[in-house]
Structure formats: C-alpha cells, structure tokens
C-alpha cells in the first residue's frame, strides 16, 4: 500500500465519519422527542462529544471494511451492505428493546421511531459511502468462482441447529457471568442472583419461558444479517469471519458509551457493552466457521480432513 493510497483512505475515513455523524444525529432527532429527558441519563466513561466521535468512527470503520473487502460493486453492494448494516445495528437491537424494555420505559410509538432512527445511516449513508470509496461503477466481480454458503439443505439444517445452541450458550453464559454480576443491572431489571448459572437458567425458564425461543429466533436473524457479508467478502474466510464478528459486535454495542435515557445508569450500559460485544463477536466467528462452505465430514469441519475445491473443467 503506497503512501498516496494510505493518505486517500485516511481522508475518506475522516470525511465519512463526519458524514456518518450527520446522518446519525439526523436519525436520532426522529426519536428524541419520544424519549425520557436526557438529563436522567448518566454520561459514559468518555467525555462528550468525544464519545460520539468514537462511536461514529467505529461505525464508519466497519462500513468501510464491508465495502472495501467486497467482491461486489454498484447497486448490488449498496443494497447488500445497507440491509446487513440495518439488520445488525438497528433491527436486532430494537427487537430486543421491544422484548425487555417495552414494559419499563418504551411505548409502541417510541419503538416505531427507534426502528426508523437507523434508516438514514443504513439506506442513505451506506450507499453514499460506496460512491465515495469508488465502488459504485467498477466491475461486478473478479470472475472468480464463489462457493461461499453453497451446501446441501441437510447440512444447512444441522448447522443452523448447532448455531442456535451456540448462541444460547454464549447469550445466557455472558448474560449471567458478565452482566448479571452487576448489582445495579439486577436492580434495573428487578432480578436477583440465585447463586449459580444453572439456578439462574431455571429461574429464566420458569418466569420467562418465551425468552429461549425468542433468542433462538434472534440467532437465526443474526445469521440472516451475516449471510450477505459472507457471500460478498473477497479473500480468506478469516477475513469474512473478522468482518462478521465486528459487524455484530462493535457498532451497536459501542453505543452504550453514549448517555441513554432508556438505560440511564452508566454501569448498566457498560456491563451490557462488555457482555454483548464479547459474545456476539465470538458468535460471528462461529457463524462464518460453520456456514462459509460445505464440509465433507465432522473431521473436515474441525480442519482435520481435506477439503477439495470443486473440480475445474479441463480446457479442450
């Protein structure tokens, strides 16, 4: 990478971060009038306005990587990146808001506006970033074969079942061993620590029997967000895994740095940030590991077998 190229990408990063913040603030204005007073929310560990700059830079970096590492170009890239970003950052966050906070601080009108809040960044900023990064008019792809996500239906089914189990382990494990250890967080949700993970799971399954099925649905929705990224990312599967992990973990969870009247206590937000950022990053790696290609056997799944690429026709 030449100095000129590095300078260009640096300038693009600064410009795109500034544009992202403009779209982000514009979207936030849609919901600001429906939220409790911001004065009720404690500030995070980073002083304002630098907390907003950090969040904006993180979003921008992930979006840039998604665009620059893609084998797709033009409208195909714009649509795929916008849908993946909106799904992972806004939709997945707000359906959990609807589940956990609707009875505490959020009404139906506010929930609707929370879903609208992320649309400017996803469907206006992301396509604009594709243009600014010079990926709007280049060739559609390199012409190389793409076997990402190509596998028999039966393999899809058992892998998705395994993915749901992995998500349950990560979600409930991180929820108990990280977030639930914070007394302020337990007080916010009106819960207690029964003393062990298995006792906590018994309480959850007894008092909230719909939570496990709901999180199974979220596990599959996370997969839906990851699929276009897996399919369109060029290079090594590890690159796709890193990108999916970052997309699922960083942008939405880093938002806990910002004062939030829906979760006013800073310690509660920080516990959630550590809990969800760590678990969703690992979950993103697992999704790509299982789904990026067909596996011929369990040994092949764990890298102990030989993966033979599809045979290429012999030129005659």
Domain locations along the chain: 3-139+147-296
Q: Any idea which residue has 């369109």 for tokens? A: 232
3-class SS letters over 158-175? HHHHHHHHHHHHHHHHHH
Alpha-carbon Rg of the chain, whole angstroms? Answer: 21
155: β partners: none
How far is residue 70 from each of residues 88, 135, 141, 234, measured CA to CA in Å?
Answer: 18, 9, 9, 5
Considering only CA atoms, which of 84, 62, 59, 63 is closest in space to residue 225?
84
pTM to 2 decimals?
0.89
Instruction: List the pLDDT tens digit at each of the 316 positions of the chain.
Output: 688 999 999 999 999 999 999 999 998 887 766 666 666 778 889 988 999 999 999 999 999 999 999 999 999 999 999 999 999 999 998 898 888 765 555 566 677 888 888 999 999 999 999 999 999 986 655 567 788 999 999 999 999 999 999 999 999 999 999 999 999 999 998 899 999 999 999 999 999 999 999 999 999 999 999 999 999 999 999 999 999 999 999 998 999 998 888 788 999 999 999 999 999 999 999 999 999 999 887 788 887 655 555 544 444 3
Q: Which two tokens stand for residue 284?
A: 């993103």
DSSP letters of the chain?
Answer: --HHHHHHHHHHHHHHHHHHHHHHHHHHHHHHTTSPPGGGSPP-SSPTTHHHHHHHHHHHHHHHHHHHTBS--HHHHHHHHHHHHHIIIIIHHHHHHHHHHTTTT--HHHHHHHHHHTHHIIIIIHHHHHHHTT-SSS-S--S----TT---HHHHHHHHHHHHHHHHHHHHHHHHHTGGG-HHHHHHHT----SSHHHHHHHHHHH-TTHHHHHHHHHHHHHHHHHHHHHHB-S-HHHHHHHHHHHHHHHHHHGGGS--TTS--HHHHHHHHHHHHHHHHHHHHHHHHHHSS--SSHHHHTT-S--PPPPPPPP-
User: What's the pLDDT at 37?
Assistant: 63
Q: What percent of the chain has pLDDT over 70?
A: 88
Q: What angle do CA 91, 160, 82 make, to 5 degrees?
A: 30
């Amino acid at each position: 990478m030449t100095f000129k190229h590095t300078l260009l990408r640096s300038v693009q990063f600064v410009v795109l971060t500034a544009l992202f913040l403009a779209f982000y603030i514009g979207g936030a204005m849609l919901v600001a009038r429906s939220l409790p007073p911001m004065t009720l929310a404690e500030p995070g560990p980073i002083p304002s306005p630098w907390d907003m700059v950090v969040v904006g830079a993180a979003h921008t970096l992930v979006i840039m990587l998604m665009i620059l590492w893609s084998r797709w170009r033009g409208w195909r890239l714009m649509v795929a990146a916008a849908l993946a970003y909106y799904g992972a950052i806004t939709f997945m966050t707000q359906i959990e808001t609807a589940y956990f906070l609707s009875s505490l601080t959020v009404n139906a009108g506010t929930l609707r506006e929370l879903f609208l809040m992320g649309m400017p960044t996803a469907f206006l900023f992301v396509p604009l970033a594709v243009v600014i990064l010079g990926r709007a008019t280049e060739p559609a792809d390199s012409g190389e074969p793409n076997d990402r996500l190509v596998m028999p239906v039966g393999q899809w089914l058992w892998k998705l079942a395994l993915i749901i189990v992995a998500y349950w382990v990560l979600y409930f494990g991180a929820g108990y061993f990280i977030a639930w250890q914070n007394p302020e967080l337990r007080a916010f949700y009106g819960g207690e620590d029964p003393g062990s993970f298995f006792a906590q799971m018994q309480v959850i399954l007894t008092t909230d029997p719909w939570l496990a099925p709901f999180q199974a649905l979220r596990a599959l929705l996370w997969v839906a967000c990851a699929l276009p990224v897996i399919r369109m990312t060029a290079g090594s599967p590890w690159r796709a895994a890193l990108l999916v992990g970052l997309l699922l973990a960083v942008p939405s969870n880093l938002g806990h740095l910002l004062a939030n009247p829906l979760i006013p206590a800073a310690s509660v937000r920080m516990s959630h940030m550590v809990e969800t950022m760590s678990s969703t990053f690992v979950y993103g790696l697992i999704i790509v590991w299982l789904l990026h290609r067909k596996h011929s056997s369990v040994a092949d799944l764990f890298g102990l077998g030989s993966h033979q690429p599809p045979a290429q026709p012999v030129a005659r």
